[in-house]
Amino acid sequence: MQTNLDELKSSKSLLFCLFAVVFVVIVSNLAGSQAATITTDILYVPVAGGLLVLSIIIAVKFKGKGETGRAYLLFVTFVSFWFAGEVVWLRSELVYHLVPFPKETDLLYLAGYPFLFAFMIYYLKPFRIAISKKMIWNASLATMIFFVPTIYAMYSYNPAASLPEIVWAALYPLSDAMILFPAVLGVALFLKGKVNLLWSLCCIAIILNIMADSGFLFLDTDNSVHSGNPVNILYLWAYILFAFGIYSQVKLFTLPKMKSFGKVDDLK
Amino acid sequence: MLDEKSILANKKALFAMAVEDALSEAGQPWNKIVTNELLRGYKCSISDCIDHPEYLKDVLNQTFGHADIVVISKIKKNLGEFGQERSVNEFLQVLAK
């Protein structure tokens, strides 16, 4: 009962965070593209920072012990790269007014992907014998559903863009599609378990990233993109979903309240 | 000669070790998580589950979902030859259901 109540509270908080992001980004866009750029760039720091703090908390709780402990150290590294990417982006755009290509932030974001992939592999490793052929087939199918349209889009988007620009932009959706494979495996493996919430939210976050990256690929090729574009809502939502997924794991460590037990004999 | 109480205590300790070892393969903190869930849901500890295997089964399933079979098969492996004993055998049968 207590757990259901906690889950309800968490889902309310999650919905509130998702709506708050939409509200802030849309209102700032109504105020103009410069206001939207400043607001969105700044918004990324607490959102990605919150995820970094939560991932450090869970890594400390697991103390790097066992495969799951090592997995969380990899997750912290992944989030650190992306958080650094957000801070460097903010500094480049708002302080130095630079938009170089390829951006140094791209290197930071792309460097994070192998660590996210490794996190999932290490997490799944102790449970690998429970992975069925059907799960692998479903995960492959889900990956291909996103992989193939992305490859197609890479060639069909604005042909005026240079090949290096298109390849550079396409690296993101392709990397997302690759990390989707272990994420879908995790969802299938831990189905009906409390651990599944982390994997489900990670999976949705990755799909949101694929959609946002594909959107950016489209906008980037005809130079109609700006940092405050509403497509950023998807990136921010992805951070929030990752954060709530990690929070669901942190909550597993919370001890039940002892006062509700009454007599000590009831514990036996 | 060990009295009945000591035998039961030893059996519980052995059983708890088998479960904790199975859980710690993925990481020591999983012990704490499963212990918390048992306490939250059934107000009992891991060693108490020898009398209530359904509690442990339920908590493992609620925590790991389909992946609970990995932990259960490791517990079975850890208990090894003790699995022939009636009480342990009954326990394993409930877990494997």
Q: What is the pLDDT tens value at each position of chain A, 268 positions in all?
A: 445 555 656 688 999 999 999 999 999 999 988 888 899 999 999 999 999 999 999 999 888 888 888 999 999 999 999 999 999 988 888 887 776 555 788 889 999 999 999 999 999 998 888 899 999 999 999 888 887 887 777 667 666 667 776 677 678 878 888 899 999 999 998 888 888 888 899 989 998 988 888 777 777 666 666 778 888 999 999 999 999 999 998 888 776 665 544 444 444 4
> Which of these, A210, A197, A202, lies nearest to A183 by C-alpha position?
A202
User: What distance in Å separates the CA atoms of residue A191 and residue B27, rounded to the nearest whole number?
Assistant: 20
Token pair for A52: 């970094």
Fold classification of A2-248 (topology level): Rhopdopsin 7-helix transmembrane proteins (1.20.1070)
Residue A102 preceded by cis peptide, ω within 30: yes
Asked if B28 lies within 8 A of A255 by C-beta distance, the reply is no
Token pair for A250: 């942190």
ipTM greater than 0.90: no
Whether the Cβ atoms of residue A75 and residue A56 lie closer than 8 Å to each other: no
Q: Is B29 on the interface with A (CB under 8 A)?
A: yes
Domain ranges of chain A: 2-248
The C-alpha angle with vertex A198 and arms to A232 and A132, in degrees rounded to 5, equals 115
Other Cβ atoms less than 10 A from the Cβ of B56: the count is 27
The C-alpha angle with vertex A25 and arms to A20 and A28, in degrees rounded to 5, equals 120
Tell me the chain B residues in contact with residue A192 when contact means C-beta distances shorter than 8 Å: 61-62, 65-66
B80 phi and psi angles, rounded to 5 deg = 45, -125
**pTM for this structure?**
0.85
Domain B4-96 is found in CATH 3.40.1410.10: no
Find where tokens 């052995």 sit: B14
Whether the Cβ atoms of residue A263 and residue A70 lie closer than 8 Å to each other: no
User: Which of A65, A189, A194 lies nearest to residue B63, judging by beta carbons?
Assistant: A194
User: What distance in Å separates the CA atoms of residue B19 and residue B44, rounded to the nearest whole number?
Assistant: 14
Whether the Cβ atoms of residue A232 and residue A212 lie closer than 8 Å to each other: yes
User: What distance in Å separates the CA atoms of residue B27 and residue A249, rounded to the nearest whole number?
Assistant: 14
**Cβ contacts of B8 within 8 Å, gap of 6 or more:** none
Q: How far is A39 from chain B (nearest CA, A)?
A: 39
Q: How far is B87 from chain A (nearest CA, A)?
A: 19
Q: What is the pLDDT of residue A154?
A: 67
User: What distance in Å separates the CA atoms of residue A36 and residue A28, rounded to the nearest whole number?
Assistant: 4
User: Which of B25, B36, B66 lies nearest to residue A126, judging by beta carbons?
Assistant: B25
Which H, E and C letters describe A91-129, residue by residue?
Answer: HHHHHCCCCCCCCHHHHHHHHHHHHHHHHHHHHHHHHHH
Token pair for A154: 């890479």
What does the pLDDT look like over B23-61, one tens digit per residue? Answer: 887 777 888 889 988 998 888 888 888 888 899 999 999
Q: Is B89 on the interface with A (CB under 8 A)?
A: no
**Cβ contacts of A160 within 8 Å, gap of 6 or more:** A221, A222
Mean per-residue pLDDT, B1-14 = 72
Q: Is B25 on the interface with A (CB under 8 A)?
A: yes
b/e code B83-93 from CB counts within 10 Å (16+ = b): beeeebeebbe
